[in-house]
Amino acid sequence: MSKIGHITATALTAVLLVCATVTPPHAQSRNPAGIGQDQYLQGQFSMDRHLAGFDKPLTSEGEFTLSPATGLIWHTITPFPGMTVLDDHGITRIDDQNNRENLAGGDQFRPFIELISAVLAGNWDPLRERFDIVQQTAKGNDPWQIVLTPKGGSPIAGQISKITATGTQFVDVVQIAKPSGDRDAITLSGQELHDMPLPADLADIFAGPAN
């Protein structure tokens, strides 16, 4: 009934997207792997949101920051600036005037944050409960691919029909297909892995306004 139900479903797609995105830069490896709790990843994204029945997608571009220990900042720069923060406090939207709106209780959303960490650590077990996972190991310079399909009867199946992530060192593209026929195509670039702590401005975003 609560909004968190469907938001988390949609958020999971984002989680998985980012999970697949943050593949460590092992030069010789062609498999996704996790990052440590003491690291964070930054990069740029371009998202095309295709809505069934409409030719033109909704396109947005921006930057993201992911810390397995803290959460995800999804900073849309164009066409409309805004920020979505996923962390222990839940889902928070910050508009261009720095107004914060908490969309959902963090306690409910936390499993998805934890899913990010689990995937980044190379632990697929939490996802295997809800998804059938097919992993294609890359050969040579070919990209690797992971296909996640919700298991029958899983609540998430009402929100997502398939997630496909491809990449080489990092995830390059994530395709999220929905039962309605809508799909999101996210292209990632410029990912860089850094050691914690987060820069002060990013840490402040996670910390929220001082009371």
Q: What is the nearest approach in angstroms of another protein to the Cβ of residue 13? A: 8
Residue from 93, 100, 162, 194 that binds another protein (CB under 8 A)? 93
Q: Which of 76, 149, 164, 166 binds another protein (CB under 8 A)?
A: 76
Q: Is 18 helix (H, G, I), strand (E, B) or coil?
A: helix
* Distance, CA of 42 to CA of 45 (rounded, Å): 10
DSSP per-residue string spanning 33-100: ----TTEEEEEEEEEEEE-TT-SSPEEEEEEEEEETTTEEEEEEEESS-EEEEEETTEEEEE-TT--E
Closest distance of CB 111 from another protein, Å: 6
Options 27, 79, 152, 201; binder of another protein; rule CB under 8 A? 79
Residues that bind another protein (CB under 8 A): 1-11, 13-14, 17, 47, 49, 51-56, 58, 60, 74, 76, 79-80, 82, 84, 86, 91, 93, 95-97, 99, 101, 103-105, 107-108, 110-111, 114, 155-159, 178, 180-182
